[in-house]
Amino acid sequence: MASSSSYKPYTLSQILTSHQRHIFAVKFSSSGRLLASCSADRTILTYGFTNSDSLTLSPMQQYVGHQLAVSDVAFSSDSRFLVSSSDDKTVRLWDVPTGSLIKTLHGHGSYVFCVNFQPDSNIIASGSFDETIRMWDVRSGQCVKRITPHSQAVSAIDFNGDGTLMVSGSYDGLCRLWDVSTGHCMKTLIFDVDENPPVSYVKFSPNSKMILVATLDNTLSRRMVQKMEGHTGTVISVSCHPSENMIASGAIDYDKTVKIWTQQKD
């Protein structure tokens, strides 16, 4: 880790104000050319850079169809498709360039909390307040696996680099590691035998050897190097650009903005 004297801080560089209500999730595409946000206003928005030399984002497309708040969003690996989850109990697949709805996936019995593509983008995984994970075939739209992994809402899902493993997090305070092909639970991660705070976020490291876990007990490990202030509501989603020193953040409560933070250059 760089010393504090050499650390170049991030500063607020842009505020995106296209949503009408608070933001639930922000995600950069794997190429870094697109950013998606989803909101309690029942819409999804994508943004693109104004030109190849610019780090300024402009709205590109709006995706309308969900009947209730949109809780999560994810790009396919080639950025052609977007998948979203919603309080309306559906998962929806969208065409990124046109904003057209391709498929609506029904099956969950309660709010769908999180969604993600397997790296090859042939499978979508979704987690719900109904305490299940469903895996969907992208082409057919059929549910190919239903897993009942947790005793409370499934709050987060991520795949490892080759798509053979999936990690899930839940408000029951547990993370579970899954074999994607069989749906078998390989390992349960317990952080505190006496008290497991609800899990809000899980993410494999780029080399898939570690899993990052965020919990709702207001704790973080390691040393804080910077506090970025600007949102007027609680920040519940951040996304790091894959190649630029850029962070997108979204907040709930009365904050309706996506904020873009960039690192100072030499």
Give counts: helices (H), strands (E), the chain. 0, 22
Is 0.85 surpassed by the pTM of this model? yes
The closest alpha carbon to 152, from 134, 170, 169, belongs to: 170
Contact 19, 258 (CB under 8 A): yes
- The tens digit of pLDDT for each residue in 3-57 reads 455 778 899 999 999 999 999 999 999 999 999 999 999 999 999 997 777 789 9
Residue 146: how many CB atoms within 10 A of its CB? 12
The domains of the chain are located at 10-263
Confidence of residue 2 (pLDDT cuts 50, 70, 90): very low
Pick the CATH number of 10-263 from 2.130.10.10, 3.30.43.10, 3.40.50.720, 2.60.40.1180: 2.130.10.10
Highest mean pLDDT among 124-133, 168-177, 201-210: 124-133
For 8-12, 67-71, 133-137, which range has the lowest pLDDT when averaged over its residues?
Answer: 8-12
Which tokens go with 16?
Answer: 């995106």
Sign of CA dihedral 26, 94, 128, 43: positive
